[in-house]
Amino acid sequence: MPQPIASFSSNRPIAIFSDFDGTIFLQDTGHILFDHHGCGPERRAFLDESISTCENTFRKASLELWQSLRVPLDTAFATLKEHLVVDPGFHDFLNNFAFHRRIPFVVISAGLRPLLRRVLDESVGKAKSRSIEIVSNDGVISADGANWTPVWLHDTELTHDKARSIREYRVRHAKANPLIVFIGDGVSDLAGASQADVLFARRGLKLEQYCIKNRIPYTPYDSFTDIQRELEVLVVSNRFHSAAQTPAEAAADGPVKAML
């Protein structure tokens, strides 16, 4: 069910929430580590399926997966660096749209913050990474990598209730009344998608399938290039974002404090 993006008000500031695994990066950070340094692909696939069939909760399965890891953080990151592929349009979207237009870009994930932050630091550089808020679970990892303990953001079966996080963001910025853009791909994004004003679902994956089945308005995308093209219409005459920054200003200022 298509959503008429051009019909949204251009007089509201925009805030972008994006999933990480399968969205910014085409692979899942956890899956890579579980397959190479943890329970292995067969057990991981079994646990994933048990969540889909409701034989297992997301929280219980996730705990087993993360606790199966036996790898120091540096080695884990080296494995991720070898296997992760960034969405081909992401860097241009971040630098020449989000930062350029002073739009807050928030990573919202069920993954572990130490991994997400380090991958972002490497991918976009530490200075730009600092301008990206990460709302996710956390993790305590022993120095020798023998113990990985996830620290859930919320005491729920979802471990991180993305809908709750977005609602809390709306409350914090109630006076600004931001237009919430949500970008995702999978089952873990369903809750967050429910809070979006503008929803993007990666074409052919489970979030899009859910939207089609339940007649939820959304826009499909194949890369962040598609998303940027769709969102440009919202910033052309938007008083919060029409005055673009120079690349130097964007790097120095970051998008979050400039807007809300």
What does the pLDDT look like over 186-214, one tens digit per residue? 888 999 999 999 999 999 999 999 999 99
> Residue 258: pLDDT above 50?
no
Give 54-57's long-range contacts (Cβ < 8 A, gap of 24+). Answer: 57/157
Give 147-150's long-range contacts (Cβ < 8 A, gap of 24+). Answer: 147/67, 148/66, 148/67, 148/69, 149/66, 149/67, 150/62, 150/63, 150/66, 150/67, 150/112
Both tokens of 92, joined, read 């241009």
Higher per-residue pLDDT: 237 or 120: 120
**What's the rounded Cα separation, in Å, for the pair 193 and 188?**
9
What is the pLDDT, as a whole number, of residue 257? 46
**What's the rounded Cα separation, in Å, for the pair 235 and 14?**
9
* pLDDT class of 236 with cuts at 50, 70, 90: confident
For the chain, give every domain's residue range: 5-27+86-259
Q: 10 Å Cβ neighbour count for 135? A: 19
Element (H, E) at 219: strand 219-221
**What's the rounded Cα separation, in Å, for the pair 19 and 110?**
9
What is the pLDDT, as a whole number, of residue 238? 86
pTM for this one?
0.91
> Residue 251: pLDDT above 70?
no
> Residue 2: pLDDT above 70?
no
**What's the rounded Cα separation, in Å, for the pair 48 and 53?**
9
What is the pLDDT, as a whole number, of residue 4? 66
> Could you tell me which CATH class the domain 5-27+86-259 is placed in?
alpha beta
Question: Quick one: average pLDDT of 64-83?
Answer: 98
